[in-house]
């Protein structure tokens, strides 16, 4: 019997596009200059992602780091980390010469030593700045003027702040003379004239960061790779953000925080985490139409394609710790702005923003409702699924929606190899039975599990791709020192990494 036309037709099934990629902060890239930067090695990494079939490159916050070198503690939520500026790109712009790069210190290729890098790069940037002041490159000067105009709403305050800070032995604004803590127009003008060269230097280095990052992002996008950025919810007290916008934060009459941010005891710390950031005056933000937040998120989306918002739960309710407490134990939950903030942002910037919600920790139905109302995907961390305390929500077979990101681990977790080696035998046993493996290649087994899950996005740290142990961990929450310093070398990436990742990516339709 002949088949009918109806039975011959194939039903068209719409399949949502699935993505996968690697978590790697640019500071961890290879380079001869003591820290990963936006030079050739960054472009080589993009090429690796393309060869491996990966479409996402997730980074940590890109701002200038303060005490402790944490990307989550910055002098500005708008400024860029100038240590990422590539000296080689400055040569291409004819702002320094190849001769200037002949005597590079013998930096550690495995560990970032921020103090040493800062000292050397400051010398290089100063040479470039002096050359820039004399340049006749009209195109470069036009780019610079356009940058100043576009970013004046934060750049003027930031450049002034960092220049005055340097004049005050790099002390935060609370230790400055009162006349500078809240300067009058007259005082500010006097200091702007006094520090004109330093202020111009700050603006120049920010211009170079944005220029180089913009070129790198454009290259990644051309190769089919999207950048996933990261935005901390809170800001540092030692920042131009707080200094220039005191009314937007909960401060006393002298400028000190009345309460500070943190999280209660959890998986990472028995005493909670006392971050110490000043808390927002949400009533003031609402009265201003959330303008500061709109500008912040808008600026982020000039640098990234997706934006992960760290500690998303703080927008529903945040842990407020009285100033002066030594731990985060004695805090209490206070209500955040909720969907009101994101409605204002969407109204200003459009509702097609690609935002990831970091929804880990103590998550309530109210937090989940806010996340879902906003339409933001949440995070699933595979390591958590095998811990004794974990809920079944972190097992892939229990994922309730495709609208989520499956991670093997994050920057706050141990590497998967290190986690497995340190885990209790009952957790290792669950891993072996669940993945039907012997634990000998656990990080790649986890990568496979993340890719095979229903999650729309699968992301894994570079350390897991390279099968590295605890010695390569990026951060230990609550522990100061020895964090944010991990780097890998060129020869660590081999051809088989790209081949096997691509095979797996194709197998699971990512």
Q: List the domain boundaries for the chain.
A: 245-349
**Which is catalytic among the residues 69, 358, 359, 464?**
358
Pair 415, 471: CB distance under 8 Å: no
Q: Is the pLDDT of residue 268 over 70?
A: no
| pLDDT value of residue 129 | 98
179-195: pLDDT as tens digits: 999 999 999 999 999 99
Query: How far is residue 253's CA from residue 495's CA, in Å, rounded to a whole number?
Result: 60
Tell me the average pLDDT across 218-237.
98
**Among 287-301, 387-401, 411-425, which stretch is predicted with the lowest mean pLDDT?**
387-401
Residue with tokens 């220039």: 244
Across 370-410, the runs of DSSP E, i.e. the strands, are 378-381, 404-407
What is the Cα–Cα distance from 193 to 372, expressed in whole angstroms? 50
> For residue 388, what are the contacts with CB-CB under 8 A and spacing of at least 6?
424, 426, 427
Q: What tokens does 249 get? A: 């934060």
Q: How many Å apart are CA 338 and CA 315, to the nearest integer?
A: 5
Catalytic site residue from 359, 412, 445, 464: 412
Question: What is the average per-residue pLDDT within 273-301?
Answer: 97
Q: Tell me whether residue 473 is exposed, middle or buried, using C-beta atoms within 10 angstroms of its C-beta: 0 to 12, 13 to 18, 19 or more.
A: buried
Annotated active-site residue 310? The verdict is yes
Confidence of residue 395 (pLDDT cuts 50, 70, 90): very high
Residue 6 has pLDDT above 50, yes or no: no
Query: If you average pLDDT over residues 275-299, what whole number do you get?
Result: 97
- What span, in angstroms and rounded, lies between the C-alpha atoms of 359 and 373? 14
The token pair that represents 374 in the structure block = 């906003």
What does the pLDDT look like over 443-490, one tens digit per residue? 999 999 999 999 999 999 999 999 999 999 999 987 877 899 999 999
Tokens 């209660």, residue located: 264
**How many other β-carbons are positioned within 10 Å of the β-carbon of residue 145?**
11
Mean pLDDT, the chain, as a whole number?
Answer: 95
Of 41, 88, 230, 310, the active-site residue reads 310
- Does residue 412 have an active-site annotation? yes
- The answer to whether residue 509 scores a pLDDT higher than 70 is yes
pLDDT number for residue 390: 64
Cβ atoms within 10 Å, residue 440: 9
- What is the torsional sign of CA 283, 286, 291, 293? positive
Cβ contacts of residue 79 below 8 Å, gap of 6+?
63, 64, 154, 155, 158, 206, 209, 240
Residue entry with tokens 């994922």? 399
pLDDT reported for residue 477: 84
Distance separating alpha carbons of residues 52 and 58, to the nearest angstrom: 15
Smallest CA-to-CA distance from 263 within 273, 271, 254 is with 273
358 is catalytic: yes
Distance from C-alpha of 26 to C-alpha of 258, rounded to nearest angstrom: 35
Is pLDDT of 119 > 80? yes
> For 396-438, how does the pLDDT look when each residue is reduced to its tens digit (9 = 90+)?
999 999 999 999 999 999 999 999 999 999 999 999 999 999 9
Alpha helices in 440-494 (DSSP H): 442-452, 462-465
Q: How far apart are CA 18 and CA 509, in angstroms?
A: 7
Does the pLDDT of residue 1 top 50, yes or no?
no
Answer yes or no: is pLDDT of 352 > 70.
yes
φ/ψ region of 258 (left if φ > 0, alpha if ψ in -120 to 50, else beta) reads alpha
Closest C-alpha among 182, 172, 163, 322 to residue 245: 182
What whole-number distance in Å separates Cα of residue 261 and Cα of residue 254? Answer: 19
Contacts of 291-297 with CB under 8 Å at 24 or more apart are 292/245, 292/248, 293/341, 293/344, 293/345, 294/344, 294/345, 294/348, 294/349, 295/78, 295/153, 295/154, 296/77, 296/78, 296/231, 297/231, 297/345, 297/349, 297/353
Residue 344 has pLDDT above 60, yes or no: yes
Average pLDDT over residues 92-106: 96
Output the pLDDT for position 5. 44
pLDDT tier for residue 15 given thresholds of 50, 70 and 90 = low
Q: Count each helix (H run) and each strand (E run) in the chain, helices first.
A: 19, 12
């Amino acid at each position: 019997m002949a088949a009918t036309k109806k039975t011959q037709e194939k039903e068209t099934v719409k399949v949502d596009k699935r993505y996968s990629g690697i978590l790697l902060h640019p500071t961890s890239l290879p380079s001869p200059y003591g820290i990963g930067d936006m030079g050739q090695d960054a472009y080589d990494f993009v090429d690796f992602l393309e060869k491996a079939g990966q479409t996402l490159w997730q980074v940590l916050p890109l701002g200038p780091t303060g005490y402790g070198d944490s990307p989550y503690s910055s002098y500005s939520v708008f400024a860029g980390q100038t240590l990422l500026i590539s000296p080689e790109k400055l040569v291409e712009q004819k702002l320094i010469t190849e001769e200037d790069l002949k005597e590079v210190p013998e930096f550690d290729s495995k560990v970032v030593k921020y103090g040493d890098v800062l000292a050397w790069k400051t010398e290089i940037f100063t040479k470039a700045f002096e050359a820039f002041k004399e340049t006749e490159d009209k195109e470069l000067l036009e780019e610079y003027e356009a940058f100043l105009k576009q970013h004046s709403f934060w750049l003027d305050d930031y450049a002034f702040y960092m220049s005055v800070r340097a004049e005050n032995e790099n002390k935060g604004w609370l230790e400055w003379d009162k006349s500078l803590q809240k300067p009058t127009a007259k005082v500010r003008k006097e200091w702007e004239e006094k520090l004109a060269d330093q202020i111009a230097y700050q603006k120049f280095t920010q211009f170079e960061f944005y220029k180089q990052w913009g070129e790198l992002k454009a290259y990644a996008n051309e190769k089919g790779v999207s950048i996933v950025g990261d935005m901390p919810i809170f800001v540092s007290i030692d920042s131009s953000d707080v200094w220039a916008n005191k009314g937007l934060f909960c401060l006393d009459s002298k400028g000190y925080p009345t309460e500070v941010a943190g999280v209660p005891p959890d998986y990472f710390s028995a005493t909670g985490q006392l971050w110490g950031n000043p808390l927002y005056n949400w009533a003031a933000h609402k009265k201003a139409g959330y303008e500061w937040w709109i500008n912040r998120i808008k600026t982020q989306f000039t640098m990234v394609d997706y934006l992960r918002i760290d500690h998303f739960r703080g927008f529903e309710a945040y842990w407020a710790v009285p100033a002066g407490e030594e731990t985060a134990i004695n805090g209490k939950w206070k209500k955040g702005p909720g969907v009101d903030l994101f409605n204002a942002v969407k109204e200003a910037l459009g509702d097609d923003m690609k935002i990831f919600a970091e929804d880990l920790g103590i998550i309530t139905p109210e937090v989940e409702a806010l996340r879902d109302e906003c339409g933001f995907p949440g995070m699933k961390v595979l390591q958590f699924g095998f811990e004794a305390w974990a809920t079944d929500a972190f097992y892939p077979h229990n994922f309730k929606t495709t609208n989520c990101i499956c991670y093997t681990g994050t920057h706050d977790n141990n590497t998967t190899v290190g986690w497995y080696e340190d885990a209790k035998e009952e957790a290792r046993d669950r891993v072996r039975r669940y993945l039907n493996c012997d634990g000998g290649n656990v990080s790649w087994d986890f990568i496979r599990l993340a890719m095979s899950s229903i999650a729309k996005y699968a992301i894994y740290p570079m350390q897991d791709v390279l099968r590295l142990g605890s010695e390569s961990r990026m951060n230990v929450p609550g522990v100061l020192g020895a964090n944010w310093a991990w780097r890998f070398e060129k020869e660590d990436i081999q051809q088989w990494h790209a081949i096997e990742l691509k095979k797996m990516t194709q197998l699971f339709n990512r």
